[in-house]
Amino acid sequence: MSIQKPSLPKGTRDFGPIQMARRNFILDTIKETFKLFGFQQLETPAMENLSTLTGKYGDEGDQLLFKILNSGDFLKNVSPQDVQGGVATVLPKVAEKGLRYDLTVPFARYVVMNRNEITFPFKRFQIQPVWRADRPQKGRYREFYQCDADVVGTDSLICELEILLMIKRAFAKLGITDYSIKVNNRKILTGLAEVIGEKGREGELCVAIDKLDKIGWEKVQEELTQRNFTENAIAQLSPIIDLKEGNKGKLEFLKTYLSSSEIGMKGIGELEEVFELLASYGENQEHVDFDVVLARGLSYYTGAIFEVKVNNVSIGSVSGGGRYDNLTGVFGLEGVSGVGFSFGVDRIYDVMDELGLFPERNLDKTKVLITYFDQQGFTYGLKVLHKLREAGISSELYPDDAKIKKQFTYADKKQIPFVVILGDTEIAEEKVSLKDLQTGKQEILTIEGLIERVGK
């Protein structure tokens, strides 16, 4: 029998104990923040009916769906004629289900199916893997986690306020201090297009402006010309590109600039109200940056737009979202507006790794290893182990009869900070010897003393 070399499917990865401990640190922080703000957790199945998924992400998205073959003889309904008809004819007969591509469409399906049981406004968060049949490359996987929070069933701008607050709180707890939450409003972008005489073309306008940080204003102007924007329109944009002063200054300038656009002024009003709510709540505008040309996923958003960037790292945005008008319309329930955002957990991980922000001390590690010299020590060790665990202290008893040096090597490799040594004297006196591997200090303690000493 030949030995098979194990491998992983392309675009997937394992998370070992160190990565898991770090990921859990991030996820627990985010989860705790969501719960503090009254969000409830939801999980949906890994697979959905293909009818739920197709047509929701555009043609390109449909191609990236992983399809699941029907169980059993999946070819039983396929005729030779079907095969000649190609993929479009064969697919519905061999696959009814697919792996979810994001968390938003399953959430919309859930809301529609449970609309009579749900209390609106409905605040939910969801942290689960999603699958995309993308070409794998650095930082892009075929299986990755999304971490979404949404509020549906209210237009209140307190939701926008809470997104800002949740991002600020989570980052503070994670130790990320140098970042900015860029905010804008879709209505302001619509207003911009109106004011420069290119009504209804904010989509094209923003695709070009979105590249500003990457290619600069000169190149953006060339692209706008290629897209048949008039010279006059482009010229009218330049004061917007150079807006430098703080949030207040930008808002004041835009009140004049957009005064002829009703929808533009409405966007300004909404943004001002969010800033006022922030002040009433007792928080400042630190880290919050009004970016007039921020234009995420425009086809989707109708109000506020958010994007979070951490400064001085090589990674792009780590969180983003916005307000949308009609989440559930595709499933026949009209007019459910909501606002949502997601944390890019993998990207936050890379940022924290790059900045060295993970607290290495207490990440899921065993705190105490009990070592011994003989069977009698092993038996007494079990008793000590019971007491330690009862006190909630993560501990292990070395399982095999081995030289004490080998037991210490194990503690060292697993980065266990404390080692209990049980020799004849300790057993006779019902005490323990405790060695702190960080300082090298050793002391004799009662079991109660041991619990107090390491339980700190």
In this prediction, residue 361 has a pLDDT band, given cuts at 50, 70 and 90, of low
- What are the two backbone dihedrals, phi and then psi, of residue 295, each rounded to the nearest 5 degrees? -145, 70
CA pair distance 328, 388, nearest whole angstrom: 52
117, 165, 244, 270, 367 from 248: Cα distances, Å: 43, 19, 11, 14, 51
Q: Which CATH architecture has domain 17-355?
A: 2-Layer Sandwich (3.30)
How are beta strands 338-343 and 368-372 bridged, if at all?
unpaired
Residue 237 has pLDDT above 80, yes or no: yes
Residue 39 has pLDDT above 90, yes or no: yes
Q: Do 368-454 and 17-355 fall under one CATH topology? A: no
Contact assessment for residue 306 and residue 157, using Cβ atoms and an 8 Å cutoff? no
Percent pLDDT > 70 in the chain is 98
In the sheet that holds 442-446, the strands lie side by side as: 395-397, 368-372, 418-422, 431-436, 442-446
DSSP 31-58: HHHHHHTT-EE----SEEEHHHHTTSSH
Task: Note the pLDDT tens digit of each residue in 155-207.
Answer: 999 999 999 999 999 999 999 999 999 999 999 999 999 999 989 888 888 88
Q: What per-residue confidence (pLDDT) applies to 282?
A: 97
CA pair distance 212, 238, nearest whole angstrom: 12
260: left (phi > 0), else alpha (psi -120 to 50), else beta?
Answer: alpha
Q: What per-residue confidence (pLDDT) applies to 362?
A: 55
> Domain coordinates of the chain in residue numbers?
17-355, 368-454
In this prediction, residue 243 has a pLDDT band, given cuts at 50, 70 and 90, of confident
Q: Nearest Cα to 181, choosing from 95, 32, 294, 97? A: 294
DSSP 64-120: TPPEEPPSS-TTTT--HHHHHT-HHHHHHHH--EEE-S-SHHHHHHHHHHTTTTPPS
Mean pLDDT of the chain: 93
Q: Tokens representing 184?
A: 């804008």
Contact assessment for residue 274 and residue 157, using Cβ atoms and an 8 Å cutoff? yes
What 8-state DSSP symbol labels residue 373?
S
Task: Note the pLDDT tens digit of each residue in 256-304.
Answer: 999 999 999 999 999 999 999 999 999 999 999 999 888 876 667 889 9
Q: Identify residue 426 by its one-letter amino acid code.
A: E
Half-sphere exposure at residue 102, Cβ-oriented, CA atoms within 13 angstroms: 17
CA pair distance 71, 88, nearest whole angstrom: 20
CA pair distance 166, 6, nearest whole angstrom: 42
Which residues, in sequence order, are bridge partners of residue 182?
Answer: 289, 307
Residue 209 has pLDDT above 90, yes or no: no
Question: Per-residue b/e over 188-218, b at no fewer than 16 CB within 10 Å?
Answer: bbbbbbbbbebeebbebbbebbeeeeeeeee
Q: Tokens representing 423?
A: 């020799």
The helix or strand, by DSSP H or E, that contains position 209, with its residue range, turns out to be: helix 202-209
Q: What per-residue confidence (pLDDT) applies to 204?
A: 85
* Fold exhibited by the domain 368-454: Rossmann fold (3.40.50)
Task: Note the pLDDT tens digit of each residue in 367-390.
Answer: 999 999 999 999 999 999 999 999
Q: What per-residue confidence (pLDDT) applies to 316?
A: 83
What 8-state DSSP symbol labels residue 196?
T
For the residues 65-80, what does the mean pLDDT come to? 93
Q: What per-residue confidence (pLDDT) applies to 297?
A: 64
E strand intervals along 225-291: 288-290
What 8-state DSSP symbol labels residue 329?
G
Quick one: CA dihedral 277, 280, 283, 289, positive or negative?
positive
* This model's pTM is above 0.85: yes
Residue 139 has pLDDT above 90, yes or no: no
CA pair distance 372, 416, nearest whole angstrom: 16
